[in-house]
Amino acid sequence: MLTISDLAKKKILALLGAEGRQGSALRMAIMGRGPAGFLYDLRFVEGTTKAPEDVVVDAGGFQVFIDPDSAPKLKGATLEFVEGVQQTGFRIDNPNPLWDDPKARAVQEAIDTKINPGVAAHGGFVSLLDVKDDIAYVALGGGCQGCGMANVTLKQGIEVIIREAVPEIHQVIDTTDHAGGTNPYYQPSKGGGASPFA
Amino acid sequence: MDRLLLLMTTTTYRAGAFLEAARRLGVPVVVGSDQPQVLAAANPGGNLTANFVNPDEGTRTIVEFSGQYPIRAVLAADDQGVILAASASAALGLPHNSVEAVVAARNKYRTRKMLAQAGIPSPVFQRIPIDADPEEAVREVSFPCVLKPLSLAGSRGVIRADNPREFAAAFRRVEAILRQPEVVAQAGEFSRHILVEGFISGREVALEGLLSHGRLKVLALFDKPDPLDGPFFEETIYVTPSRLPAAMQERTITRTAEALKALGLRHGPVHVELRVNDQGPWVIEIAPRSIGGLCSKTLRFVDGISLEQLILRHSLGYGVESLEREGQAAGVMMIPIPEAGILREIQGQAQAEGVPGIQEIRLTIPVGQALVPPPEGTRYLGFIFARGETPEQVEGSLRGAQRCLTFAITPLDDVAASECAGVPAYVRRREMEKAGSIRSRPRLPAGGSRRSE
């Protein structure tokens, strides 16, 4: 099911010890998808929080609880701990495809190959959150989050590209919390003032 | 199908509402903006970059574009696009206001002159070059007066002065705004002068309307219940329907129609601001576009049609005469910016949203960014929307929600320059002077906010 490297085990046991939580379990879940792949949630929980439907992995010294929705997407994955100049921390090597649904896979490919390379020019990125009932749900990040032109990028760019690539998609809905955007490429201004880059 | 060209700068608040309206109407849209759209290459028939500052050049671009992608109507979302929209419409033979009328409306001095020439009651007014010595210029000024830039929006740079000392200070403050590079780029020649006009006391109202070949359809008359007596004129609450006596409402509409005619505006949306006192209604400003910011969410017409849907339908030549505003009272509060600084935290939003009558709260400046109050500020902190049975209820809801909100703000004098992106250097310097960081001066009291540690 899930492999945990020796170094990762050692680090987790050390963390449990440091927090005085010997006997606790590690809960692992897939929270969604981002530009770099699956988004994971890892947290220590009490052993009593195990749900009957959880998949349990005995890591030797602690248990890992995985909810039934996340379990298939973690099959064959490896939890590692890496130490290096560019990254230090836990990393999950997951061989599973981001999407099982062929429609979602096609939308993801359009985002990866046509949309994200474009919006990267403004420091932005687009993540596919879900595809349901011919609607693609996306979130905009980086320079696109809070950008005054986010709606234009969505309607005149993202939606056009996705519908061209996957004609079954009828609508693209932006679920972004634009009020939380800290570095928007274009900031709205009273009266539609001059663009800062004019 | 022919397209509708929607002109908007990349800093507009209006993109979402207009694009959603177009989607609901099933109208193909071309977004014409002053800067390239990031994914424009993927949709060449849906995006266009045009020069808003040079309407002749911008018009050539639009006419050339329409050769490949025919355009059925041209509409500007904000002030910045209205002259180009008029110019392009004329070149394409589409119904629109004339360029001359729109240019007159974009220049507050020219507006004043044309209204006065048409015999419409006007305050005394004059135009003073920003290079003038305010101590000299003040000799021709009577008090109280209001100084304002010729073409900025949202009360930016509008300051009242009651005496020569206040006049000189206000003049230098407006001058500093007009010398900002982005203002010079945006306003061009309009940035070389300051309009000085007599202060008109009274209650302020705003009329949202739609002109069809010279005939005015009133979409809403808003009261602005907060007194706008200066020294700055930060707009806060708009509530419709108006609580003015019916006869005064009629006079306000008549005065508005006269003023629009005097300017030569005949077709498309208009947003007109007036003051009402015992001498009747006085026109303050006329804009040949719809209401700004996110305030249009306040207006909803039969069958849930939005203001933008109505404007798009009108621009495409569909009848809108039968589309009346829904019966409920509605209002919006543009949340006042309590003081200059870096926004650290917002508290009480959930409680504010729970106030009866509140429909939505949209905060539009994220935590971590700079707040700049009027007269220099160019951004709205956020919007509170409410509906109710009566205007009084709506106003009460808006005020109740605002009371729930607390903004933790670190004053500009307490933060590093690197955190002050978007704050003009002279504003930061003034705030530091106020705080005594540069030279000792008493600190102004803050209201509606708490200072973060």
pLDDT 10s digits, B321-337: 888 899 899 999 999 99
User: How many Å lie between the alpha carbon of A120 and the closest alpha carbon of chain B?
Assistant: 9
pLDDT tens per residue across span B285-297: 999 999 998 999 9
Pairwise pLDDT comparison (A146 vs B144), residue with the higher score: B144
Q: Which SS3 state, helix, strand or coil, does residue B16 take?
A: helix
Q: Is the reported ipTM for this assembly greater than 0.90?
A: no
Q: Do B39 and A161 touch (CB under 8 A)?
A: yes
* Contacts A196 to B, Cβ<8 Å: 11, 182
Q: What is the spatial distance between Cα B11 and Cα B36, in angstroms, rounded to a whole number?
A: 12
Closest CB from A118, A148, A188 relative to B39: A118
Mutate to test the interface with A, among B23, B39, B54, B418 (most CBs of A within 10 A): B39
Given CB atoms, is A49 within the 8 Å cutoff of chain B?
no
Question: Mean pLDDT, chain B, as a whole number?
Answer: 91
Give the model's confidence band at B449: pLDDT under 50 very low, under 70 low, under 90 confident, else very high.
low
Question: What strands lie across the sheet with B29-33, from one edge to the other?
Answer: B47-49, B29-33, B3-7, B71-76
Cβ contacts of B215 within 8 Å, gap of 6 or more: none
CA distances from A92 to A5, A8, A26, A61, B357 (A): 10, 10, 14, 20, 48
For the segment B132-137, the average pLDDT, to the nearest whole number, is 94
Closest chain A CA to residue B287: A191
Bridge partners for A126 per DSSP: A140
A 134-163 residues inside an 8 A Cβ radius of B = 146, 148-153, 155-158, 160-161
Q: Do A188 and B11 touch (CB under 8 A)?
A: yes
- Locate the DSSP E strands across B241-311: 268-277, 280-287, 300-301, 305-306
User: How many Å lie between the alpha carbon of B77 and the closest alpha carbon of chain A?
Assistant: 8
User: From the centroid of its chain, how far is CA B216?
Assistant: 20
Q: Which CATH number fits domain B4-101: 3.90.1010.10, 3.30.950.10, 2.40.50.140, 3.40.50.20?
A: 3.40.50.20
Q: Do B78 and A179 touch (CB under 8 A)?
A: no
CATH superfamily of the domain spanning B331-451? ATP-grasp fold, B domain (3.30.470.20)
Q: What is the spatial distance between Cα B255 and Cα B273, in angstroms, rounded to a whole number?
A: 11
Closest CB from B34, B43, B182 relative to A157: B43
- Tell me the two tokens of residue A174: 């932006």
- Tell me the two tokens of residue B268: 């498309």
Q: Do B79 and A158 touch (CB under 8 A)?
A: no
Q: What is the spatial distance between Cα A28 and Cα A79, in angstroms, rounded to a whole number?
A: 10
What pairing do the DSSP bridges indicate for beta strands A2-4 and A77-83? parallel
- Locate the DSSP E strands across B278-423: 280-287, 300-301, 305-306, 329-334, 341-347, 358-363, 370-371, 382-388, 406-410
Q: How many CB atoms lie within 10 A of CB B383?
A: 20
Q: What is the spatial distance between Cα B215 and Cα B321, in angstroms, rounded to a whole number?
A: 11
Closest CB from A146, A157, A196 relative to B182: A196
Q: What residue ranges do the domains of chain B occupy?
A: 4-101, 124-198, 203-325, 331-451
* Predicted confidence (pLDDT) at residue B443 exceeds the cutoff of 60: no
CATH superfamily of the domain spanning B203-325? ATP-grasp fold, B domain (3.30.470.20)
Among B178, B261, B254, which residue's Cα sits nearest to residue B218?
Answer: B254
Q: What is the CATH number of domain B124-198?
A: 3.30.1490.20
> What pLDDT does B255 receive?
98
> What pLDDT does B415 receive?
77
> Which value, in Å, is the radius of gyration of the alpha carbons in chain A?
20
> What pLDDT does A198 receive?
31
A 106-135 residues inside an 8 A Cβ radius of B = 114-115, 118-119, 121-122, 124
Residue-wise DSSP of B188-239: GGGGGEEEEEE---SEEEEEEEEEETTEEEEEEEEEE-S---SSB----EEE
CA dihedral sign of residues B136, B139, B143, B145? negative
pTM: 0.85
Q: Do domains B124-198 and B331-451 have the same CATH topology?
A: no
Cβ contacts of B113 within 8 Å, gap of 6 or more: none
pLDDT in tens, chain A (198 residues): 899 999 999 999 999 999 888 889 999 999 888 777 898 999 999 999 999 999 999 988 899 999 999 999 999 999 999 988 878 899 999 999 989 899 999 999 999 999 999 999 999 999 998 899 899 999 999 999 988 899 999 999 999 999 999 999 999 999 998 877 777 777 777 665 544 433
User: How many Å lie between the alpha carbon of A43 and the closest alpha carbon of chain B?
Assistant: 27
> What pLDDT does B446 receive?
38
What does the angle CA B393 – CA B396 – CA B397 come to, to the nearest 5 degrees?
Answer: 85
pLDDT tens per residue across span B176-217: 999 998 889 888 888 999 999 999 999 999 999 999 999 999
Q: Provide the residue type at B195 as one letter.
A: L
Give the model's confidence band at B448: pLDDT under 50 very low, under 70 low, under 90 confident, else very high.
low
Q: What is the spatial distance between Cα A79 and Cα A27, in angstroms, rounded to a whole number?
A: 13
pLDDT tens per residue across span B51-96: 998 999 999 999 999 999 999 999 999 999 999 999 999 999 999 9
- Tell me the two tokens of residue B273: 């601001």
Q: Do B80 and A121 touch (CB under 8 A)?
A: no
For the segment B225-231, the average pLDDT, to the nearest whole number, is 94
- Tell me the two tokens of residue B352: 């504010």
pLDDT tens per residue across span B394-440: 999 999 999 999 999 998 877 777 777 667 777 777 777 776 655 43
Cβ(B262)–Cβ(B270) under 8 Å? no
Burial bucket for residue A88 (CB in 10 Å: 0-12, 13-18, 19+): exposed
> What pLDDT does A196 receive?
40
- Whether omega for the bond prior to residue B144 falls within 30 degrees of 0, making it cis, is yes
> What pLDDT does B431 receive?
74
Given CB atoms, is B15 within the 8 Å cutoff of chain A?
yes
Give the model's confidence band at B258: pLDDT under 50 very low, under 70 low, under 90 confident, else very high.
very high
Q: What is the spatial distance between Cα A189 and Cα B163, in angstroms, rounded to a whole number?
A: 32
Percent of chain B with pLDDT over 90: 78
CA dihedral sign of residues A116, A119, A123, A126? negative
